[in-house]
Structures are given as structure tokens and as C-alpha cells.
Chains A and B, each alone.
Chain A
Amino acid sequence: MLFLRRLLAPLLVFNISVGIFGACASPKDAGKSAAAAFSVALLTPGSISDQSWNGGAYDGLLRIRDSLGADISHIQTKTPAEFEENFRQYGAKGYSLVFGHGFEFQDAAARVGPSFPNTVYVTTGGTRTSANVSAMSFAFEQPSFLAGVVAASVSQSGIIGCIGGTELPPVKAGFASFAQGVHFVNPNAKVVTAYIGNWDDAGAGKEQALAQVARGVDVIYQNADAAGLGIFQAAKDSKRVYVIGSNSNQNGVAPNVTLGSVVIDLPAAFMSMAREVKSGQFTPRVHVLDTRSGVMKWIVNPALRSAIPTRALQVVDSLEQHMRAGTFTPPAATGTR
């Protein structure tokens, strides 16, 4: 069933081969009827092997399968035309819940939503809602600010880098808040920001990181998914250069150079959304998920905890408590998301 369903999806070789594997990976779904059961689909903008944004979403999908017994399906998409086409495919197949993983899916969800009123569309980013469309908005700025505090406390040169995939609003907002965290500790520090232009080119990620290191950058905050894997490699090849990971807990990707990660607990966010839909309690709205809800976290890499000054760790702890209590909001969070 699952296999056929995937084959009927857009006839792109790429999607098919990814789909075939997806089907192989979840043999226990075979034989179940999709129409009757609770079924959840996920569209990612990149590869689920990125150890980051897309991998975290796939973890969320697996948790929905294991905890709620849902039939699951995943397709990797690249262009807005594919977002819309696959939203329609899943709607036509009667899926209960379809995640479009990213800010960039919101236009497609708004267009497709009205055609399939029995399917709930959720985009992980953006602010658009309608009868059956919700958005999850991650307060990326909050842990990014804490990461900035740590980066500035560790940096010897006072030059700190940010490298992103493309300039999506959530990525930009995270970098802005990170820079404020840096300046909170060291007002004279310089923050340079670069974008790779895509989310896959690990070679370009590494070269961009090396170019920053050559300018004196010694801490890099990366938010570039699979391309970011090259940034970790650049730090490993350089001396005394640290990376801060993002989206998933990336502390294990390169434990010797990773100070910590700005983590979105995507599995928890996906589960709460799936529970809401499964129980029939769905109400369209923008879910703002932040440190208070426990979805957004700054996680220090235990292996490098000693590289961070104790004073900085104390400041971060105190700021985090104030964020949870709602008594401190990073200034950048007031901007649009």
C-alpha cells in the first residue's frame, strides 16, 4: 500500500527512490488501511540525514507512528511546485495530518487547504492559518540569544560568524538574536553573517567557514542543515575554532568542536500537534513554541563544558530562567517572524 502510494506521488525519480526506501524502512505499516486509520505525512525541504532541521522532523514523524499508531509517509521536496503537488496528493489520499516542514510551505498550505477540508495542514514556520491550516512558530531567538552569550564568552578574537543555508525569516531572526546575545557580553565584538545559498552543499559550507576562520572568526553559529556538516569539518581542521549547532541536538556530530546546540524539540512539537488532531480538538491557530513550552532549548555540549567560562554558564542559566518565567525576552523577538 505504502509503496504504491509513494509511486503515485509525483513521478520524479528522486522522490521515488527516496520513497521506496521509506517503505522498506517501515515494513510494519504494510497491510494497514490508510483510509480508516490515523495517517500522518511529512514533507521536508531537504534530506532527513542532515542531523538537523529535517532529521528532527523525521524523528517527530517516527514518534507519532510509535506512540499514536499512525500510518506515516515522508517525501522530500525541493520546489514550491512540489510542495503544493504533494500537499494535494496527501489530501486526495485522505491523510489526517500533513506537515510542511518550514516557513516556505505556508503559501502552498494556504492554497491547498480549502480543497481538502478533512486534512489538517501544519507548517512549521509562518503565521498563516485557515479552517484546516495551522502554523507552528518556533521562538528561535530565545535559545539563539543564549548561544550568543556563550559564543562571546568563549571567543578570543572577538570576531564571531553566522552561516545559514538561505536567508529564511526564522534563520535571520535567530542570527539577529544571536548577535544581540554576543553584544550583551562584548559590545565591541564583530558578528559576520554569510549564507551558502542552499542547504546541501557541504563543500561550500566548509569553504565559507574556512574563509571566516581566515578573517579571525573563532566561533561559528551554523544553521545550514546538511551543508552545515561541512562547517563542523572546517572547525575540526582548524585550531581553536568552535561551532554552535542548531535545530537538532548536534553536540554529537563533532563533540570536540561543538560548544552546544540551539535545539527545537521537534518530536515534542509534532506529537502535541498530532494528539490535537487525533483527539478531534483541532483549532486553527499559530502555535508559538518557545523556552516556556519547553520546545526551544539551549543545550551545552557536556564534552566541552569546561571550555566555557563558569561565569558565562551562570549568566546563561539565569537568563534561561527569566525566559521561562516570561520576565526576559530577547529584543530581536519583538520583530516579525
Chain B
Amino acid sequence: MSIDAAEFMQASVRTATPLALAAYGELVVERAGVINLGLEGAMIAGAFGALVGASAGGIGAGFAMAVVAGCAATLLMAWVVLWLRADAVIAGTAVTLLALGLTGTLYRALYGAQGAALSVPTLAPVAVPGLHQLPWIGPAFFEQPLATYALYAMACGLWWWLPRTHAGLALRATGERPDAALAAGISPVTVRAWALLFGGAMGGLAGGVLVLAQVGTFAEGMSAGRGFIAIAIVVLGRWSPVGVALAALLFGSASQLQYVFQSLGWPVPYQLFLALPYVLTLLVLAGTQRRAAAPASLGAPLDTAP
């Protein structure tokens, strides 16, 4: 009954992967000044898209469909928020509820009223030669499914892109001072639309990873709040790519710790263990410095932005 540290770390990274993917999508959306509560909807849409795609054409088709489904869910959000100027919080909630209901409906329409408990092929972990032999972190970070390596590339790409490119500057300007961005010849609506599309693609990809690199099956509502956790991870990570990586890893490890504690069979009420990831998150949030890091125009509709 011992706990293998390397195995624990590996499982933590596995748990953190879909959270981090969705959180990077949300990071870009929030740096453009929009809060996307439809992320949970994009995720469940992605999970369902992955099931449909993978059943029809294998893992690659599964991931493609996951991204398409996540984008589709978020396009609705973009249209309502950016062109119809609806409140983003209400629109995002509606998109999430719609996606949860619609995926359930389509699942039953396609696979019979009571579903089928389908098994889809999953990505096996691939060890990176050399790196996976590093003590402790080797198996944790370098013996993962390909999707996790795509996440590393994405994280590095964002870390470089946000502060160092013109497009990254346009994104940040839109989130801080959309009026100034407009004066500089940047269209805040266009920037926010692209940001939302990216956020939807990442949310869909996160749902796809959940199905195709973790669980291997689909269940209605299986996103189970991960989209909202990803939004919290962006806040915990102070809207920075490095912070988001650390926050996702913290949440992944806390979740794994919860599973391990329960499996040890201690006579402690299980609710305490279930609360662990959230308690840890609160403690970290309370313990970190309170420098205002949120984009200045976060959540402000464009016509009333400062």
C-alpha cells in the first residue's frame, strides 16, 4: 500500500492536461476582455464530437471533430456577445446549458435512447527518449499521450506570442483599452471574435482529450464542471501562461491526492477529500500577492468599455 511518487506525478499531469488546454483557451479570451462561461459547453461539445469522430474515423478524426464542435459552440457565443451585444455571463451560461442538453439529445439520437457505453480507441502514452528517464519528473512529464506534448508546445507558443508579437499586443490592447486599440486601427470586435474562436477550439480539444486520451468512452455531462475549473485556473494563474501551467498542475495534483487519499481507506468522511482541490486552490489564491493582474476591460461590453 505504498504511494509511488513518479506514478502520482504522472497521473497528476494526466488529470491536469484537459484543464490546462481549456485554461489556455480561456486565457486568450480573457486577455481580449471577454469572460467565456460557455467554455464548459465547448468542452462537453468537444467530448461528444470526439466520440462521433473517433467512432467513424479513428483518433485523428475524433480530435478534428472535437475542435470543430468546440468552435461551433463558441461561435454561437461570439455572435450573441459581439454582434448582438448580449451580456457575456448570461450568453456563456446559456451556451453551456444548451451544449449539455444538446449533446445528451444527439447522443441518444445517434446511439439509442439509453446510449451504448461505447469504447473508443485512446492515445497511449509515448515516452520521449532520454527525457523520460529523468528522476521524478521524467515519467510525469515525458511519458504522456501526444496531446500532452501538444499542450507543452501550445504553452510555450503562447508564452512567446503574447508579449512579443504585434498580434499578441493587439489582443492585450483589446482587453485593456479597446478604445485605444480602435484608435490604433485594431478592430476590437474582430480580435475578440478570433480569441473566442481559439478559446472554443481549445475547449473542444480539452473535451477531446478527456475522451480520447483519458476515459475512452462518453457519458452525458462528463465534462462535470472542468470548464469552470479552467476559468478559475486562469484567475489563479494571474492571466499569465506560466501561472496557468502551475495552477493547472496544482489542481491536477490536488485531484490526484484526493483519489489517493480515498483509496487508502482512512476512516475520514469522503467529503473532506472531495473538497481538497478546492480548499487548496482557495489557500493559494489567498496566499498569493494581490497585485491587480486582470485585464482592465475584462467583462466590459465594447460600447461601454473605458
B263 touches A214 (CB 8 A): yes
When C-beta atoms are compared, the residue in chain B nearest to A250 turns out to be: B117
Is A130 part of the binding interface, using a Cβ–Cβ cutoff of 8 Å?
A: no
In the complex, what residues of B have CB within 8 A of residue A233's CB? 119, 215-217
Mostly, the B contact residues are helix
When C-beta atoms are compared, the residue in chain A nearest to B106 turns out to be: A21
Q: Which residues 139-173 of B have a CB within 8 angstroms of A? A: none
A245 nearest CB across to chain B (Å): 11
Other-chain residue from A13, A215, A254 in contact with B263 (beta carbon distance below 8 A): A215
Is B1 part of the binding interface, using a Cβ–Cβ cutoff of 8 Å?
A: yes
Other-chain residue from A15, A59, A202, A237 in contact with B114 (beta carbon distance below 8 A): A59
When C-beta atoms are compared, the residue in chain B nearest to A233 turns out to be: B216
Q: Complex: how many Å from CA A69 to CA B141? A: 59
Report 21 cross-chain contacts, Cβ distance below 8 Å, ordered by A residue: A17-B102, A18-B104, A18-B105, A21-B104, A24-B109, A25-B113, A48-B115, A49-B115, A49-B219, A51-B114, A192-B262, A194-B262, A195-B262, A195-B274, A200-B224, A202-B215, A203-B224, A211-B11, A214-B3, A214-B260, A230-B215
**Given contacts A14-B100, A195-B274, are A207 and B256 in contact (CB under 8 A)?**
yes
In the complex, what residues of B have CB within 8 A of residue A50's CB? 115, 219-220
**Given contacts A203-B210, A226-B220, A229-B217, are A214 and B7 in contact (CB under 8 A)?**
yes
In the complex, what residues of B have CB within 8 A of residue A202's CB? 215, 217-219, 222
Please tell me the number of chain B residues within 8 Å of chain A, measured between CB atoms: 48
A230 touches B219 (CB 8 A): yes
A51 touches B97 (CB 8 A): no
Complex interface bits, B1-25 against A, C-beta within 8 A gives 1, otherwise 0: 1011001000100010010000000
B101 touches A17 (CB 8 A): yes
When C-beta atoms are compared, the residue in chain B nearest to A212 turns out to be: B263
When C-beta atoms are compared, the residue in chain A nearest to B103 turns out to be: A17
New A-B contacts (8) at CB < 8 Å, excluding given A21-B105, A195-B270: A13-B98, A14-B100, A49-B115, A50-B115, A55-B115, A193-B265, A195-B262, A211-B256
Other-chain residue from B97, B109, B210, B270 in contact with A13 (beta carbon distance below 8 A): B97
Complex interface bits, B218-250 against A, C-beta within 8 A gives 1, otherwise 0: 111110101000000000000000000000000
B284 nearest CB across to chain A (Å): 21
B114 touches A58 (CB 8 A): yes
In the complex, what residues of B have CB within 8 A of residue A16's CB? 101
B263 touches A192 (CB 8 A): yes
Please tell me the number of chain A residues within 8 Å of chain B, measured between CB atoms: 56
When C-beta atoms are compared, the residue in chain B nearest to A24 turns out to be: B109
Is A208 part of the binding interface, using a Cβ–Cβ cutoff of 8 Å?
A: yes
B259 touches A58 (CB 8 A): no
Complex interface bits, A32-69 against B, C-beta within 8 A gives 1, otherwise 0: 00000000000000011111000100110000000000
B220 touches A210 (CB 8 A): no
B1 touches A216 (CB 8 A): yes
Q: Complex: how many Å from CA A109 to CA B271? A: 27
Other-chain residue from A51, A191, A211, A230 in contact with B260 (beta carbon distance below 8 A): A211
B265 touches A211 (CB 8 A): no
